[in-house]
Amino acid sequence: MFSQGQISLAETILSEARQLNLKIAVAESCTGGLIAACLTAIPGSSDVFERGFVTYSNQAKSEMLGVRPELIATHGAVSIEVAAAMAQGALTHSHADVAVSVTGIAGPGGGSLHKPVGTVCFGQASAGFSHADRIVFPDQGRVAIRDAALDHALTLLLTTIRAKKSS
């Protein structure tokens, strides 16, 4: 299900979080739990992985993560603003120290001129830190977009953990 590179990255994430005694939470929309599944594919992950939220609908984003409906109405579910709020909400609604979030358009439909298929927004959060970015991945199909989003989210999670290490 996961590439050897993804498993290796997940192992590194868990190892480095374990060394710092950090707990991880994820908030996912278009990846539908792939980040959580990849991290928990590693034996022993339960001492680091705190929880995952799969918030596919706007209502779930609001109810489970506390994303304000007005924020979604103003910027859209696929926006850096909502991605940042999702990551922060994952921290607020868990016992985690670091969080990553993903919301996007994996296709084949749902895209627009300003948000084409392949548009994915990511959030990162930890105590005193929040960041979000947007990437438009090539539209090479739903599976490829979700896989690329997984890779990027894992990389962001490792970056967030390493930032905690150096602070």
Rounded (10°) angle between helices 80-92 and 58-65? 40
What is the extent of the structural domain holding 45? 4-166
Number of domains the chain is built from:
1
Q: What is the pLDDT of residue 90?
A: 98
- The CATH number covering residue 21 comes to 3.90.950.20
- Residue/partner pairs of 43-47 with CB below 8 Å, 24 or more apart: 44/14, 45/10, 45/14, 47/18
Q: Would you say 80 and 134 are in contact if contact means Cβ atoms under 8 Å apart?
A: yes
Q: What is the pLDDT of residue 24?
A: 98
CA dist., res. 88 & res. 65, Å (int): 8
Q: What is the pLDDT of residue 164?
A: 87
Residue in this structure with the two tokens 């970056």, named with its chain if needed = 159
pLDDT tens for each residue of the chain, 167 residues long? 899 999 999 999 999 999 999 999 999 999 999 999 999 999 999 999 999 999 999 999 999 999 999 999 999 999 999 999 999 999 999 999 999 999 999 999 999 999 999 999 999 999 989 999 999 999 999 999 999 999 999 999 999 999 988 87
**Rounded to two decimals, what is the model's pTM?**
0.97
**What is the three-class DSSP state of 147?**
helix
